[in-house]
A and B are shown apart, each in its own frame.
Chain A
């Protein structure tokens, strides 16, 4: 058990499994996105490739793989090639610290939350580089918007996470989850969603902005910027951008589940002292259900809301969310001193 080789092997196996699972979730997510958007718009959606269109994402990937790989004239070649990787890699890397089952994560950190914030902050480089290196004014505008937007919302997001850390008095994600494990009938009320509702709302909206999803996809903005930072990207480079975005979505959802929705915790039962395989499977299952519910929420929002104007986006970010988060921090501090479990007093 203490053999370092053994622990390395375990880490590698976990990494490969997580990596593979995430990669498999992406096409599934693309399929869901297309299907749900079709339902919202009273269409049928993909149904030609494979049973009920399940192989459509595969067909898309094959199509993208066979597309001509263009590099625009005057592009900064190395940065141009680097950009999609810089978007994709941090998103995958960030997922490594998210526990998907009872104490199950690729890399167990005491400072998981901080690591996650740091790494996911990197993806802004990918967008900015992509926009800059394409030698296209629309791409550049897209890249600039992406960086400005992500920097702004990272503040609000960080502040709402700090509120959680204040409540939990720890930055270990597994510990945060354990604190949300409620065994009673009202066990769900132990979730940070109810303990820290303001932080939850701020976090989820900031997450939309962080992942460049509608209604905050001003960096892509097909109508004005023709795709923004990825205007000039084709084939597999574009696919990498695309996957990076979806993985970021999964990571953000995972983080949200962990921080606010109880993570892998199984409600209404006691915390097992030594988890069995059943417990493990149950916890993974609960985590997945919550994850997919959030992903559905992402998609649902995307096909409901129109895109915000840039000034509205910035206005909400700086003039609403940051003050609200700061006030929330104050309230949390007061509640902490008073010994309240919930920010809003509940029975």
Chain B
């Protein structure tokens, strides 16, 4: 029971300390504290960053990077050109043209399957929407290219990844 009044006083005191304009103008102590803090960092030198192209970080599981199209056990593309990925895609970066599949077990397959990697926002909705588990976002994140045309991945490229 002795604590509350004292605690309240302390609290009030702190409150006035932060709002008192005369105290506000004094920078000496905070500046000194700050300088000591940064000096500690200079002396300690434990960088949190890595030498990126030389050292590469392993992406966490579930990281969404470059897309690829999967093949089934017979080496055919799993995709049946249902357009659900392009429908789910919020960036409208998937372009599909369907054709009749030459195989008995399915009707359609993509004749064209283009992903505009520059437009893609790597949200993974395509992967989520796919009923055939045919599209996948790999953990590959460094996918530079020299031309814009290279950033539009066609079916062959997506299947080869």
Contact = CB atoms under 8 A, between A and B. Distances in A.
Interface of A: 36, 38-44, 47, 300-301, 303-305, 315-316, 320
20 contacts: A36-B42, A38-B47, A39-B42, A39-B47, A41-B41, A42-B41, A42-B47, A42-B48, A43-B47, A44-B47, A44-B49, A44-B51, A47-B51, A300-B38, A304-B31, A304-B34, A304-B35, A304-B37, A305-B34, A320-B25
B49 A43 contact: yes
Contact of B38 (A40, A43, A320): A40
Interface residues of B, number: 15
Nearest to B34: A304
A38 B45 CA distance: 9
A42 B46 contact: yes
A303 B38 contact: yes
B89 to A, nearest CB: 36
A301 B49 contact: no
Contact of A304 (B25, B38, B48, B49): B38
Contacts of A36: 42
Contacts of B39: 300
Nearest to B31: A305
Contacts of B45: 39
B44 to A, nearest CB: 9
Contacts of A42: 41, 46-49
A40 B35 contact: no
Contact of B41 (A40, A301, A315, A316): A40
B35 A301 contact: yes
Contacts of B48: 42-43
